[in-house]
Amino acid sequence: MIEHLDMSLVDWSRAQFALTAIYHWIFVPLTLGLSFLIAIMETIYVRTGNEEWKKLTRFWMTLFGINFAIGIATGIILEFEFGTNWSNYSWFVGDIFGAPLAIEGILAFFLESTFVAVMFFGWNKVSKKFHLTSTWLVAVGANLSALWILVANAWMQNPVGMIFNPDTARNEMVSFWAVLFNPVAVDKFLHTIFSGFLLASIFVLGISAWFLLKKREGWMAKRSILIAAIFGLVSSLTVVFTGDNSARTIASVQPVKFAAMEAHYYGSENAGLTAFGVLKKSDKKIGEKEILDFSFRIKIPGFLSIMTGGDKNTYVPGIKDLVYGEEDSRQILSVADKIRQGIFARDVLNDYKRAIMFNDTEQIRVIKKQYFQDKKFMNENFRYFGYASLMKPEDAVPNVALSFYSFHLMVMLGFFFILVFAASVFLVLKGSISKHRWFLWIALLSIPLAYIASEAGWVLTEAGRQPWIIQDLMPVTRGVSQISASSVMTTFILFAILFTALLIAEVSIMLRQIKTGPKHQED
> What would the pLDDT profile of 244-273 be if each residue is shown by its tens digit?
888 889 988 999 999 999 988 888 888 888
State the average pLDDT for the chain. Answer: 87
Burial label, 296 (beta-carbon count in 10 A; 0-12, 13-18, 19+): exposed
For residue 224, which amino acid is it?
S
- What average pLDDT does range 482-492 have in this prediction? 87
Sign for the pseudo-dihedral over CA of 76, 78, 84, 86: negative
Instruction: State CA 165 to chain mean position distance.
Output: 29
Q: What are phi and psi of 156, to 5 degrees?
A: -65, -35
User: Could you give the C-alpha distances from 218 to 20, 183, 518, in angstroms and in order?
Assistant: 38, 45, 11
Share of the chain above pLDDT 70, in %: 97
3 state SS of 108: helix
288 or 350, greater pLDDT: 350
Listed in sequence order, the residues at least 6 apart from 372 whose beta carbon sits closer than 8 Å to its beta carbon are: 164, 166, 348, 352, 378, 382
CA neighbours within 13 Å on the CB side: how many for 16? 28
Nearest by Cα to 16 from 4, 27, 5, 8: 8
In this prediction the pTM is 0.90
Q: Which of 102, 118, 126, 133 is nearest to 39 (CA)?
A: 133
Specify burial of residue 59 (Cβ count, 10 A radius: 0-12, 13-18, 19+).
buried
- pLDDT of residue 2 exceeding 60, the answer is no
Interaxial angle between packed helices 51-84 and 485-516, expressed in degrees from 0 to 180 and rounded to the nearest 10? 180
Q: Give residue 452's pLDDT.
A: 94
- For the stretch 276-316, pLDDT in tens is 888 888 878 887 788 888 888 888 888 888 888 778 888 88
Angle between the 437-463 and 400-430 helix axes, to the nearest 10 degrees?
A: 150
CB contact at 8 A, 43 and 520: no
Q: Which residues of 16-51 are buried (b: 16+ CB within 10 A; e: fewer)?
A: bbebbbebbbbbbbbbbbbbbbbbbbbeebbeeeee
pLDDT digits (tens, 9 = 90+) for 74-101: 777 777 787 788 888 888 887 787 777 7
pLDDT at 523 (0 to 100) = 44
The pLDDT value recorded for residue 290 is 82
Answer whether 227's CB lies under 8 Å from 205's CB: no
Rounded Cα distance between 47 and 38, Å, is 14
pLDDT value of residue 1: 41
Query: Using the 8-state DSSP alphabet, how is residue 104 labeled?
Result: I
Phi, psi of 398 (to 5 degrees): -75, -175
Q: What is the mean pLDDT of residues 443-471?
A: 92
| Average pLDDT of the segment spanning 446-460 | 93
Measured distance CA(229)–CA(453) in Å, rounded: 18
